[in-house]
Amino acid sequence: MVSSDEEKLEVTVRVPGSQNFTFEQRTAVRDLVDGLKADGYDVSWPLTKTASTGQAIVDIVCLYMATRGSLRIVNRITDDTADFVVDSAEKLLGKGVDWAREQFRKNPRAEGEPPRTQKIVIFGPDGEPLREIEVAENDEDTDGASA
């Protein structure tokens, strides 16, 4: 949960590639957006028109961090702002892992299908990737996820 004395973190959710989502895919991403909002984040999920007519693939979800003072943070990193960015990235990574596991539980794979994976990538205020993790369907705790 984002505390009221912290600068409110803005998070943009992006799914790379085609934006032609099925109802189930759209619902899954909306669950992530709603969960982050419930935890106090200012969240957006802009849909971008693409030339692709293919079906969207939600195997990778990117979370872009920003704050109202992002330009200030990027241009003048201090120990406090660096700690804020690192702590925020870790919290978002945990939220992403929880969301991925919940999606696996809510949408069980068909018999005979191989285990699925979900990659979560966290980007910092400068647009550079900070952390990424691949959550395997069979993982039951954070220790089982590969960073």
Report CA 93 to chain centroid distance, whole Å.
7
Instruction: Check: pTM over 0.75? Answer yes or no.
Output: yes
Contact 124/90 with Cβ under 8 angstroms? no
Whether the predicted pLDDT of 119 surpasses 80? yes
Whether the predicted pLDDT of 145 surpasses 50? no
What are the pLDDT digits (tens) for 11-64? 999 998 888 888 999 999 999 999 999 998 999 998 877 777 777 888 899 999
- Domain boundaries defined on the chain: 9-141
Helix ranges (H only) for the chain are: 23-38, 70-75, 79-106
> Is the pLDDT higher at 69 or at 109?
109
Amino acid at 42: D
What are the pLDDT digits (tens) for 54-93? 778 888 999 998 865 544 545 555 556 667 777 888 999 9
Packing angle of the helix pair 79-106, 23-38 (nearest 10 deg) = 140
For 104-122, what is the mean pLDDT? 90
Q: φ, ψ for residue 85 (rounded to 5)?
A: -65, -45
- Burial classification of residue 70, based on how many CB atoms lie within 10 Å of its CB (0-12 exposed, 13-18 middle, 19 or more buried): middle
The confidence score (pLDDT) of residue 96 equals: 94
The confidence score (pLDDT) of residue 81 equals: 61
Provide the 10 A C-beta neighbour count for residue 101: 19
